[in-house]
Each structure stands twice: as structure tokens, then as C-alpha cells.
Amino acid sequence: EVQMVESGGGLVKPGGSLRLSCAASGFTFSTYSMTWVRQAPGKGLEWVSSISSSSNYIYYTDSVRGRFTISRDNAKNSLYLQMNSLRAEDTAVYYCARSNFGVVGSYISDNYGMDVWGQGTTVTVSS
Amino acid sequence: QPVLTQPPSVSGAPGQRVTFSCTGSRSNIGAAYDVHWYQQLPGTAPKLLIYDTTNRPSGVPDRFSGSKSGTSASLAITGLQAEDEADYYCQSYDTSLSGYWVFGGGTKLTVV
């Protein structure tokens, strides 16, 4: 069964750090790009960061660039999101999702959508 | 404000047909990027419903269909069922300065 399980969420004070993990199984993790998406309480989905299959290409939304770092370990079938300098507005459920983007030069192809999602892990930033 | 615009809510009676709009611009849908649709049932993670504008993943009923025209896309559900009550999000790729992957604000479907 194709599955992804997030962990690492919790309550943290503003300015603090957390490291989210996403354990993948049931597919060849190393051949897929991966993405983090978050959802603030009562709000819609927001793309956070994406990483290509071999970590050659990494992208962040403006609001987290310089504070968050996405990484992956293909040997461990795992995706990570290191979150530093956390703010109240980072409070959300964080989902990892299997994605399928490709990069050719400066062109990014976004095909097949984000086709597998984890159940999410909750991050609360509050004093 | 989300880059893709969706109406906040849509409602329909069982058996009816409902449509969801997703309005973008020349830097995303209008730039020939595909649109993907996700269904989020209450309290659950999103699920891919339509990919590459018109395609259904395995297991998604053919009651769900997608289309695109110009800078907008649409999702249609026919034969509406009570279990279709959920939030629906469109997603595409944006080439503007603040771009990359973008979602619509979501549409809440109520089956009355």
C-alpha cells in the first residue's frame, strides 16, 4: 500500500524550531519529487516547499524561504522539513505529498498532481 | 489572497449536477499549465480527484470531470451524493515572481 506518515509536529514558542518528518512506503521513493503543503486552522491549502527526486531542485514559498529547509534521504525513504524562527502564522497542519514535477532548464512541468498525501502533523506556534 | 480564485461555497440537491470554477491568469492556467483538483472530506487529508485538467485517478467515479478554457478551469460533479459534501481545491503552477505551485482558496460543497 502506498503510504506516507508525517511526524514531528507539536507546540513551540515563537522563534523556536521543529523538524517534521515524512516516512514513505509502498513506492519507489527515490523516483518521485516531494512537496510540503500546509493548512492553517479553518483556512485553505498553501504550498510550502518542493524538492526534486535527487534533491537537485528545491523551491520554497516566499513566506518561509530562509527559515525552512526541505531535505530528503532516499536511502531511508524519508522527507524532512526543518522549520526555524517559527512564527504564529506558521501554525497549521503540515502535509507531505508525493508530487511529479520535472525540470528542464528553466521550465518546470507540473503533471499528475500531488497524488498521495499523508495524514498531516499539527504545528502550533504560541507563547 | 490565493492566486487562483474559487467561490467560497456551492450547494446542490442529491442527484443534481454542480460545477466549481477556478479562475487564474496568464501566468498559470492561461500559460497552458494543467489544473489539478483535490477533495478534502471533513477532518481528513486532501485527495487527488482530477489531474492534468481532465483525468481521473483510478478509483475516482466518472461522476467527476474537469475542463479548462482560457485562464479558467472547472470541476463538475453529476449525480450528486451526500458523501460528496467536502471542500474542493484547484491547483496549478504559476510562473510569476511569487509563483511556483498555487492553490485556490477552496469551495465548500453542501449537499442539501
Q: Any idea what the Cα angle at residue A20 is, between residues A19 and A22, rounded to 5°?
A: 145
Q: Is A96 exposed, middle or buried (0-12, 13-18, 19+ CB in 10 A)?
A: buried
C-alpha cell at A18: 521543529
Using the CB atoms, write b or e for A57-72: b if 16+ within 10 Å.
Answer: eebbbeebeeebbbeb
Banded pLDDT at B93 (limits 50, 70, 90): very high
Tell whether A115 is within 8 A of chain B (Cβ): yes
pLDDT at B98: 64
Identity of the residue numbered B51:
Y
Q: Any idea what the Cα angle at residue A26 is, between residues B35 and A47, rounded to 5°?
A: 35
A113/B33 touch (CB, cutoff 8 Å), yes or no: no
Distance CA A63, CA A84 (A): 12
Distance CA B14, CA A46 (A): 31
Distance CA A7, CA A94 (A): 9
B45/A120 touch (CB, cutoff 8 Å), yes or no: yes
Distance CA A14, CA B35 (A): 36
Residue-by-residue DSSP string for B53-104: TTBPPTT--TTEEEEEETTEEEEEE-S--GGG-SEEEEEEEE-STT-EEEEB
What is the per-residue pLDDT across B61-88, written as a single tens digit (0 to 9) for each? 999 999 999 999 999 999 999 999 999 9
- Residue A83, Cα to own-chain centre: how many angstroms? 10
B101/A45 touch (CB, cutoff 8 Å), yes or no: no
A-chain residues near B101 (CB < 8 A):
35, 47, 50, 59, 110
Q: What is the DSSP letter of B5?
A: B
A-chain residues near B46 (CB < 8 A):
37, 45, 95, 97, 114, 117
What is the per-residue pLDDT across B14-54, written as a single tens digit (0 to 9) for each? 999 999 999 999 999 999 999 999 999 999 999 999 999 99
High-pLDDT (> 90) share of chain B, %: 92
What is the per-residue pLDDT across A56-97, written as a single tens digit (0 to 9) for each? 999 999 999 999 999 999 999 999 999 999 999 999 999 999
Nearest by CB to A44, from B47, B52, B105: name it: B105
What is the per-residue pLDDT across A38-66, written as a single tens digit (0 to 9) for each? 999 999 999 999 999 999 999 999 999 99
A113/B93 touch (CB, cutoff 8 Å), yes or no: no
A-chain residues near B45 (CB < 8 A):
95, 117-120
